Amino acid sequence: MSGGSSIYEIEFPERKQYPPLRESVDTDIAIIGGGLTGISAALHLAENGFAVMVLEAGKLGTGGSGRNGGHVCQGWPNDFYHIQRQLSEQDAKIAWDSGMAAVDLVKDRVAKYKIDCDLTFGYVNAAYHQRQMAELDEVQREWEALGYDGFTRLDDQAALGNHVDTNAYVGGLFDSKSGHMQPLKYLHGLAVAAQRKGSAIHENTPIKKLETNASNGFKHLHTKDGQQVRAKILLLCGNAYLANIGLPRMKSCLAHVTSSVLATKPLSPNMVKQLLPTGAAVADCNAALNYYRIDANGRMIFGGRASYTNVNFVNIEHDLRRRMVDIFPLLKNIEKDAVWSGKIGITVNRIPQFGRTPNDIYFVQGFSGHGVALTGQAGVMLADAVIGDQTGFDVMSSLNHMPFPGGPLRTPALALGMAYYKLRDRLKI
């Protein structure tokens, strides 16, 4: 389920529109998916002098890139150990550095292309109980051993209270190098830059079928309206929204989780100062986590309520509101501006899956709820691999990804697995 317009679409009606593809064409490089991954790859290729064509089924940001919480997080989604243990020391360093480059890339692009997207730094990982505090300590130890210097431990409720006005948590970990932004404005800023540098972008152009010509390796992409795009190189950047054309190993290694977000009406400046005095974004450590922040207009943007069964759920607003009021009772009667949902693509080990075929189809997927910054970096890594520098891409694509057990029954199986962790979180063990 991906229902409801996000607040990002509602507050940004003047965003640029791109025409659908109206005729059959040849292109060297085609990119499927006008989200942060595809547009980032297009921009990086265009910056290096390569003409590309981006084909997007809906509008830019129709997928996760225009529907997320706007949290700009450092590094890879899961503990780095899951990557490190599969790699040599040298390759692990390449993987670590690639993950750490993601937020810097956002900063650099915002500055270089003057993208007005409310980028703000400061992030709190909040612990409900001591087991979660111990998990945060472990992350701090792991990252600092690898050279990270953005963390400050928030030892108790008083230290945490400098950033978050609630009794819900026992402490946390502050990260000065993560933060938040308006993701759809950022995406459009990148798209405008990519187009100025020569990329062609087509919205409302769903690709229904992919065929490969065995003799010359050309990829034939068939649109819904009968046009054909012939491309030498193809980048699949559809993540959880990829429809019709996924490769078998992409399908077997990706599951979908639905997450939802509520945007309140703007709060008074006093209330904003009281609830989140430093303007940091916050995520808790539960398996089905809450994540929230105050946007540039003073709205609380509150996300959570992961649904592993992907069943359309009723009364999302009620549930999100209950979660929000548990943390901030002051928000009990606040009205909403928008509620929406979106699909998150997850892998078994919560590390993105990179891959390519011998006939030049490249892909990356499975950002596991941690893609706002990382997709940009992944797009650059795909683009670099196409250009000829395969170092980062090869390291990441050498990682082993297990298929989800259960085949078509995978989502109920996943839900059962997650129920265990949700129960542990409820019981605070």
Ligand X SMILES: Cc1cc2nc3c(=O)[nH]c(=O)nc-3n(C[C@H](O)[C@H](O)[C@H](O)COP(=O)(O)OP(=O)(O)OC[C@H]3O[C@@H](n4cnc5c(N)ncnc54)[C@H](O)[C@@H]3O)c2cc1C
What end-to-end distance do the CA atoms of the chain give, in Å? Answer: 31
Q: Which part of the chain contacts ligand X (CB under 6 A), choosing from 106-114, 128-136, 271-279, 362-370?
A: 362-370
| CB 323, CB 302: distance < 8 Å | yes
Residue 372 is a binding residue for ligand X (CB under 6 A): yes
Work out whether 297 is an interface residue with ligand X (CB under 6 A). no
Q: Is the dihedral of CA 295, 310, 327, 422 positive or negative?
A: negative
Do the Cβ atoms of 330 and 251 come closer than 8 Å? Answer: no
Helix (H) or strand (E) holding 354: strand 353-356
Closest CB 90 distance from ligand X, rounded Å: 28
User: Minimal distance in Å, beta carbon 81 to ligand X?
Assistant: 20
Helix/strand/coil for 236: strand
Enumerate residues 197-256 that contact ligand X by CB under 6 A.
206-207, 237-245
Between 183-196 and 36-47, two packed helices, what is the crossing angle to 10 degrees?
30
Strand intervals (E) in 197-335: 200-202, 207-212, 219-223, 228-236, 255-264, 281-284, 291-294, 300-307
The reply on whether position 70 binds ligand X by CB under 6 A is yes
CB of 34: closest distance to ligand X in angstroms?
A: 5
Min separation Cβ 158 and ligand X, Å: 27
**Residues for the chain: how many in total?**
429
Q: How far is the CB of 221 from ligand X (least distance, A)?
A: 8
Residue 233 Cα distances to 35, 63, 220, 364, 382, angstroms: 18, 23, 10, 15, 11
- d(CA 93, CA 87) in angstroms, rounded, equals 9
All residues at 6 or more sequence positions from 167 whose CB lies less than 8 Å from its CB, including other chains: 157
List CB contacts of 209: < 8 A, sequence separation 6 or more: 221, 222, 244, 245
Query: Minimum CB separation from ligand X for residue 189, in Å?
Result: 15
Instruction: Determine which residue in the list 33, 99, 122, 376 makes contact with ligand X, applying CB under 6 A.
Output: 33
User: Would you count residue 4 as binding ligand X (CB under 6 A)?
Assistant: no
Q: Judged by CB under 6 A, does residue 259 bind ligand X?
A: yes
CB of 110 to ligand X, least distance (A): 16
Q: Which is nearer to ligand X, 103 or 133 (CB)?
A: 103
| SS3 category, 375 | helix
**List 222, 343, 356, 401, residue binding ligand X (CB under 6 A):** 343
Q: C-beta of 329: minimal distance to ligand X in Å?
A: 24
Number of other residues whose CB lies within 10 A of the CB of residue 118: 17
Which among 26-34, 122-130, 164-172, 395-403 is the span making contact with ligand X, rule CB under 6 A? 26-34
Quick one: 35 or 170, whose CB is closer to ligand X?
Answer: 35
Q: Judged by CB under 6 A, does residue 381 bind ligand X? A: no
Binders of ligand X: how many residues, by CB under 6 A? 45
Q: Is 261 in the site for ligand X (CB under 6 A)?
A: yes
Tell whether residue 366 is a contact of ligand X (CB under 6 A): no
Which residues are registered as beta bridge partners of 201? 54
Of 71 and 185, the one with the shorter C-beta distance to ligand X is 71
Phi, psi dihedral angles at 147 (to 5 degrees): 105, 5
Q: For residue 37, state whether it binds ligand X (rule: CB under 6 A).
A: yes
Reported as half-sphere exposure (CB side, CA atoms, 13 A), residue 280 has a value of: 24
| Residue 122 binds ligand X (CB under 6 A) | no
Q: Under 8 Å CB-to-CB from 322, ≥6 apart: which residues?
A: none
Work out whether 175 is an interface residue with ligand X (CB under 6 A): no
Please report whether residue 123 would count as binding ligand X according to CB under 6 A. no
Q: In which element (H, E) is residue 23 found?
A: none
Should residue 68 be labelled a site residue for ligand X when binding is judged by CB under 6 A? yes
Between 166 and 341, CB nearer to ligand X: 341
29, 30, 31, 32: which one binds ligand X (CB under 6 A): 32
| Segment contacting ligand X by CB under 6 A, of 115-123, 266-274, 367-375, 394-402 | 367-375
List of residues contacting ligand X (CB under 6 A):
32-38, 55-58, 62-65, 67-71, 73, 206-207, 237-245, 259, 261, 291, 303, 342-344, 367, 369-372, 375
